[in-house]
Every structure is written in structure tokens, then in C-alpha cells.
A and B are shown apart, each in its own frame.
Chain A
Amino acid sequence: MSTFPRAAELGLISCHVCKLVCADALDGDDPSNEMACPRCGSALHRRKPSSYVRAWALLIAAFLLYIPANVLPIMRTASLNDIDDNTIISGVVELWVKGSPDLAVIVFTASIVVPMLKFLSLGTLLVSCQRGSDWARPQRAKLYRLIEFIGYWSMLDVFVVSLLTALVRFNLLSRVEPLPGVIFFGLTVVLTMLASMSFDPRLIWDGRDSDD
């Protein structure tokens, strides 16, 4: 589909770090050999190494951790007369019920929609790329950029909890404590970001190779 030539076809390879373009010294895909940049010494790859495997592994790990992140309570609000443990969903529901639907929407988006979107989009990208599909390549590239952009916004929840924990410390009157859920949630966000980082967007355009 694409008419642009690839670096590999031209026998070129660029350094990830110093962006030096040099000649592709390796002929085949011999995994036992490794190229290093002659200028900065960092490893040279035609594509990010084992991009699929890494992305998949990190994505699966993130998804596994996303389950306890949602099931376990993330925050304890202790005030004078009661102790309230909230999971992400119950927090959203409570915000909605107690008359802050705008906040509820923001938290819901940041904590539920964005991670789910990331899982779905990254999964879609990985699957489609591995199959070498040439379906909607520019859109998929846009999707990848979107994932990169929104990735860290999911940390909102973690920030809310850590900020509240630090700020709301009126011992007896009210107190906010982080609960294990927030750790899992934070790990989920970090792992999804790593997954999207280890995914090489150039693979989107590599369909032809697989077709061959």
C-alpha cells in the first residue's frame, strides 16, 4: 500500500538515542548478533526489539493488576463518626450520588475509561500489526499517538489519593489513608505506559513484510 521505501530496504539503520543513520551491517535476522551505534554505543535495532512480546507481556500484566486495582479499596476516609473504604467504582458512585456529577465523570474517565481504552486500543494495534493488516493504517497511527498522549492522565487517581493523604490529616476529625488498591492501580498505569512505549509504531506500516 505504502509507496515509501523502508530503511531496512535501503540497508540503513538509525540509532534510537543519537539518531545516527548507519549501514545495516547484519544480513539476516540472526538473534545471536547485535549491532551497536558506532557513535554513542547504544544498541541498534531495525525495530524495537521483541516489541510484540514486550507489549503483550506488559499489557497482560497491567490487565492482571487492573483487577485488584478495581476490586480492592483504594482510599479510606475516616472521619469522626465513620470509616469509609472506597474502591474506584464506589468512589465514583458516591461522588455522583452526593451531587458532584462533574467530578464523578472526570474520575470515571481517568480511572475507568482511559485504562480500558488503552487496553483495547493497544490490544487492537498489537493484533492488527501482528496480522500485518493494512486496515486503516493512518487511523491506527493516530490511535497510537492518542494512547501515548492520554497514558499518564490515568495517574490522576493516584495523585488524588496521595494528595489527599498528605493534606487531610486532622487526626480525629478526618483522615485519608491510601489502601492497597491504589498501588495496583498505579502499577497498572505504569505498565500500560511501558507497554505502549515498547510497542514500535513503525510496525503499523510493516504489514507488507508479513504479507510477503
Chain B
Amino acid sequence: MTDDSQIEQGGRHGGELPRPVVKHRRFNASLIWLVPALAALVGLSLVVNSWLQAGPTITISFQSAEGLEAGKTPVKYKNVVIGRVNKIHLSADHSHVLVKVGLEKSAESFATLGARYWVVRPRIGLGGVSGIDTLLSGAFIGVDVGDSNAPADEFKGLETPPAVNHGAPGRSFMLHSDDLGSLDIGSPVYYRRIQVGRVVSYQLDSDGKGVSLQIFVDGPNDKFVTTATRFWNASGIDVSVGASGLKVNTQSLASVLAGGLAFQDPAGPHDSTPAPEGTEYTLFGDQASAMAPPDGEPHYIRLRFEQSVRGLAVDAPVEFLGINIGKVVSIKLDYDEKTQRFPVVVGAVVYPQRLGNAYDKLEALAKARGENPDLSQLMGRLVEHGLRAQARSGNLLTGQLYVELDFVPHALPVAFDPNAKPLIIPTVAGSFDKLQEQLAEIVDKVDKIPFESIGKNLDQTLAGLNATLKQVNGQTLPEFKTTLQGVQKTMGSASDALSSDSPLQQNLGSTLQELQRMARSLRVFTDYLDGHPEALIRGRRPDAKPTPDTTTPAATEPQPGSKP
């Protein structure tokens, strides 16, 4: 209040201005510089932080950058983002795209040798659907760590996700097959129709003569893969029309569509130690051949048929006493100048091991005899004993033939060269051909029957017979007729004599009555004689007076019980 009055006074008086209060300044330091210092500190910390946070930058090459976007597409491991695509550009030769990825500091272990990168996109296949979430979120790059710790900054991206993640329990095995069939990466591996693994990869063998498949069997089921395990292709529907008829075989509906393979231990005693990682197996075409005992070394044999082999096809079975020991691999026509005929040369592969014990015993026997236990030598002995090859009809409906090795009784001895390569097994005509031959023989014999003379003789005989019959008709029959008439007459008189009113019958009746009377008097006599045996000597006494009946007075007397 006083201040105001002073000021107003000062104003009024002019020249007299209010005096400000003079204080002593407490501090002088210009703290304002703290603000830019703080800002600089923050900026510096950001720089340092980002420098510390920056992980390695790697380059991944892909066939195509489909779905990838620079600055956005994340790199994920177990669905955790560990990096981001920084830049996408084409390679110098335009053959692929190079994707630069900035990994986070914590993800340094993913920039090592052996790490695998692939693009996760929605995939819809026969075996299932995967990556469906990427339909909404967009593609991302998946990663799997490797074993190595050696740093690397260039990677080749996989086009398909790896079937097995690093460190997954289980074991991988190698299978060798003639062809891939309908298998693919990811095709299931079944054990007793339960899926226990999948096909990881496949590639052609370097010589191009087969396919190698890598499979992975998940733990703990990998222990069922033993050193003796057999694998077979369970893909699709296995329909085979062979000499043994129509055969349909499937594993499961999924494998029918998507393919698959199965394994199992062979029946009987076998080595059941779990197979080590990477064991190699043969992939069989079907369960039957997989379960068959091992074939061993194949042997090539050649058969020379002199007759048509219509119905014999490549892959037709070669059997020994009904046991399949091989198959036909080639059928070729040949020309023989000497005989001017066209023999058919059939090549076949046989597996002597399939004979099992028989082969072992034969081998042992040959060794005991000091002979060379070679197949050709063994075969030589068997041929000596009548072993021949025959093309037999396996299926009457389809007319297919198979080759049967069999001991033919009374076989003509043939020259057999055990040193020939390939071994030539002598043949005999097939059963059907034999039948034809026998039929021809029969026809020949039938031809030789003298049908003409037989006919002539038969004609004469028939003429004689005719004359005889005429005689019978003309003479014998009328006489027979009169005889019959006489018989009829006799029968008529006999019938008269036996009728009820005939005199014979009446006489017979009276005679019988007499006889009855006589029998009665005889009984009276015997009854009397029974009572009076002395009558035989003394004669009959006069009849005694009848005695009074004792029962009659008792009957007339009144009964005491019935008295009223």
C-alpha cells in the first residue's frame, strides 16, 4: 500500500521514479547449458544403444522374394522376432534375390555356419496345411540354428521349410531306392500304421541309377528302427496284376494321396539293436519284397525256348518248385541257322539265396565233396538230375506265363557248360505245349484205327441179326401166342374150382365140421379118463346122482348186514 502511494506520488511529482529493490544475486552459474548437455546425452545414449543393439547383418539368397518386404518382413525363430529384412535386391546375374537381414544382437548365434533360413508362406499340400497364420500376417523368414559356432554372413535360403528342426529328438536314416515313387519331402514314415517320421530330403544318386532318401524318425520311436529293419514304399494304392492274380495294397488314406513309406522288423529271430544314426537301408517296392529274406547276389541265367512264349513278360517270376527265386529281365528273338528256327532267348535274374536252407546245404555238400560251390557248378549237378526250365501258364484268365525250374522225369540228357557266361539252363516244352503234343499223339493213334474194315464187319453182323429177327417174328411169336392162350384157360378153371359156391368148397366145409365134432368127443373122453383112469380097465360106471348145490341155500338166506 505504501509502495503504491509512493509510486503514485512519484508519478505525480514527475522525475521521481520508484526505486527497485536491489538484492544480492545468490548464484551466477548458467544452468541452462544443462539442457543441451542432457539432450546430447540422450542422443548419445541412443546412438550407443543402437550400436550395441545392432546384431550382425547377413545376406540370404532366395529364388524369389515373393512375400518379402524390405523393412518389414521379420525373421522369426520359434515365433520370436530376431531380426528384420533391411533390403532386397537382385543378384548380379539376376538368377536369385539377395535379402539383407539385420539380426538383433541377441541373435548372433543365428549368424553361424549351418543355420538354415527359409520363407514361411502358407502351404497347402496333400499332406496338410502349414503357415496358415502368414495368410494374415504376411510371409516371414524362418530360421533354424546349426551346430557350428563359426560366424557366417552369407546363407542360401531353403525353398521349403526343413522337415526336421535342429536338435529335435530322433534319428535320420538313408534309404536307397530305384525310383522316388510318389514320395516327396515331408512324406510320412509309418510304423505299424502310426506316423513316426517323415522324408527329409531326396536326391538322385551321382550315377543316376537310383534315388537316395533321407528320412527322420522322431524320438522315442526311433528305437524301433533296428539294424534288421526293412523299409518299403507304402505310397498310393499298389495294384499289381501278376501271374499270382490281382493285388491291392494300401497303408492309409493319407498315404494313398500323399505317399509314404513304412518300416518293420522281419519276422523271426533278428538283430534288434537300435540302428545308429545314418544307417543305410534299401527301400523296397512293397511289403512282401521287403519282408522277404535278403536276396543276396543276383545271377543272370539264359533260357532258350524253342516254342512260342506268348504271355511271358519281363518281370514274370522265375520259380523253383513253386518258390519265387527271380524274375525275367529280357525276352529276345533269335535265329538258328542250323535248324532254321526262331528260338526265343529269355534272360532272367535269379537269387540263389532265396532258396534258403536248400542252397546252404547244397553249397555245404559241394564243399564237402571238394567241388567249387559256385552256382554254375551246383546248377550243373541239378541239370544232370533232370532240372529243366519250362514256361508254364500261371494264370488261365490272363494267359500269363512264368518260368518254372523243375525236375523233369526221364529228361533227355543235355550238354551243360558250367563255365558259360551267362549260364544257359536247358528248357523243355511247357505243360501246355506238352498237352498239345500228347493230343497230337492221340490223334495219330486214332488215325491208325481201321475204321473201314470195322464198318464192313459191323454191316455183315447187322444183316445176320436182321435175318434172325425176321425168323423170330414169323415163327416163334405165333406159337408163343397159342401157349399163352392154353395157360389162360387153365387159370380160368382153377379160379372156378376155388370160388365159394363150388362143390369142392362145400365138401371141404362139412369135412371140417366133422373133424370139429370128433375133436370135442375126444376131449370129453380124455376129461373122463382124467377123472376115472380105472375106466380103461373096468369100463364106464353108471352116472352118479347129482349132489345138491351148497351155494344155493346160502344165497336165499337173508344177509344180516342188509337187514333194515
Contacts and interface: CB of A to CB of B under 8 A. Distances in A.
B396 interface: no
Nearest to B25: A34
Contacts of B7: 20, 22, 38-39
Contacts of A34: 22-25
Given A23-B17, A68-B43, A33 B22 contact: yes
A80 B136 contact: yes
Interface string B337-356: 00000000000000000000
A65 B21 CA distance: 40
A184 B45 CA distance: 13
Nearest to A80: B136
Interface string A1-36: 000000000001100000011111110000111111
B501 interface: no
Nearest to A10: B17
B28 interface: yes
Interface in B102-138: 136-138
B28 A31 contact: yes
A83 B40 CA distance: 31
B42 A26 contact: no
Interface in B6-32: 6-7, 17-25, 28, 30, 32
Contacts of B42: 64-65, 68, 184
A67 B42 CA distance: 11
Q: Please tell me the size bucket of the interface on B.
A: 20 to 34
B35 A61 contact: yes
B72 interface: yes
A82 B134 CA distance: 10
Chain B binding surface SS class: helix
A50 B23 contact: no
Nearest to A62: B39
A113 interface: no
A54 B35 CA distance: 9
Most chain-A CB neighbours within 10 Å: which of B7, B38, B39, B46?
Answer: B39
B33 interface: yes
B18 A58 contact: no
Contacts of A198: 32
Given A12-B17, A32-B28, A82-B137, A53 B22 contact: no
Contacts of A36: 20-23
Interface of B: 3-4, 6-7, 17-25, 28, 30, 32-33, 35-36, 38-40, 42-43, 46, 72, 136-138
11 contacts: A22-B17, A33-B24, A39-B3, A39-B4, A57-B30, A58-B32, A58-B35, A61-B38, A64-B36, A64-B39, A191-B39
Given A58-B32, A81-B136, 11 more contacts: A13-B20, A20-B18, A22-B19, A23-B19, A53-B33, A61-B39, A62-B39, A65-B39, A81-B137, A84-B72, A198-B32
